[in-house]
Amino acid sequence: MKPTSLFLTAMLASAGLAQMGAGMKEKANDTLFDRLGGIHKIAAFVADAEEMEANDEMLMKNPRFKALFNPASRPALRFLVTESIAAETGGMQNKQTPSLPQVQAWLALSQEESNRAWMHRMKAMDRAGVPKSAQMELRSWLEKATKMAKPMAPQTMEKFAKKDSLYARLGGVGAISAVVEEFVKQLAADPIVTGNERVVAALASGRVTAEGISVLLIEQLAEAAGGPFKYTGRSMLASHQGLMISEKEWDATAAILKRVLDDFKVPAKEQGEIFAVIASTKGDIVGR
């Protein structure tokens, strides 16, 4: 496992969201990924659209579409869709098999169903502040790519991970996504963590989103645990610079993580491996 690239290292103080570029490395060229707003906005509108689609009675009548929205798999669905959009539009995420266009082709939505889904997606992008031009560019790309794609049923990338890896023992991207989303939710409600005014200011700036934080943390844990993803955010030192994370905040965050891991029944051995890696990053986070 890589001691410099682990999920919960970025967790402190609402997950090292501080800087403008937190969770996004700078790129010289303007890409659709950039025009969509980067990983934070992409993750936000994917989650928003997914919620609307899950509550759309017409779409849920399609058995294949409904199968994607199994409650237990929805955190992973949000993560994988975000990763696929990012990778295909110029982000540094790993490209997936199957890709989003391949899954869309497998869904074989009718024109009415497709229009309905895009109604929700465009509304979600509007609420995330994505420019209309970028929205239309994404829709045009995905619709064309779907027509050309080989239909493939959705699946996770577990087959690419070693069976004895921590990633596999944790339960792969499905379990990791569920744990991370709950962890971020509890962080945002913790009075000690949110008592840091610098962290609150970073969140209020609109440059980062809870959904984007979750995606980046899933990337970190999955990569560090031996899974087929890679962390695309900034270093722990860079992302925590100026936040002045205290020992109290560090301890509070660790306690939240412990509680979440226990709730998800993560075995003691695997918890020990996670916390061992976290401890090695403390110097880059606390007091910076």
Region 128-139 average pLDDT: 96
Q: Do residues 263 and 182 touch, judged by C-beta distance below 8 A?
A: yes
* All structural domains of the chain: 7-23+158-284 (1.10.490.10), 32-148 (1.10.490.10)
Q: Summarize pLDDT for 37-67 with one digit per residue, the tens.
A: 999 999 999 999 999 999 999 999 999 999 8
Residue 25 has what pLDDT?
45
Region 210-217 average pLDDT: 90
pLDDT band per the 50, 70, 90 thresholds, residue 161:
low
Q: Do residues 265 and 217 touch, judged by C-beta distance below 8 A?
A: no
Residue type, 93: Q
Structure tokens at 116: 């309905």
Among 20-24, 118-122, 196-200, 208-212, the minimum mean pLDDT is found in 20-24
Among 46-60, 173-187, 200-214, the minimum mean pLDDT is found in 200-214
- Is the confidence at residue 243, as pLDDT, over 90? no
Whole-Å CA distances, 157 to 64, 98, 161: 20, 9, 7
Residue 233 has what pLDDT?
79
Region 17-31 average pLDDT: 49
**260: how many CB neighbours lie within 10 A of its CB?**
20
Top pLDDT among 204 and 166 is at 166
Residue 8 has what pLDDT?
40
Region 163-175 average pLDDT: 88
pLDDT band per the 50, 70, 90 thresholds, residue 27:
very low
pTM score of the predicted model: 0.85
- Is the confidence at residue 141, as pLDDT, over 50? yes
- Look over the chain and give the mean of its residue pLDDT values, rounded to a whole number: 82
Query: Exposed, middle or buried by CB within 10 Å (0-12, 13-18, 19+), for 283?
Result: exposed
Among 82-91, 152-161, 256-265, the minimum mean pLDDT is found in 152-161
What CA–CA distance (Å, rounded) separates 174 from 75?
7
DSSP states of 204-270: HTTS--HHHHHHHHHHHHHHHTT-S----S--HHHHHTTT-B-HHHHHHHHHHHHHHHHHTT--HHH
What CA–CA distance (Å, rounded) separates 53 from 66?
9
Under DSSP, is residue 70 helix (H, G, I), strand (E, B) or coil?
A: coil
Q: Summarize pLDDT for 62-76 with one digit per residue, the tens.
A: 999 998 898 888 999
Cα 56–chain centre separation = 23
Residue 239 has what pLDDT?
62
pLDDT band per the 50, 70, 90 thresholds, residue 16:
very low
What CA–CA distance (Å, rounded) separates 261 from 180?
10
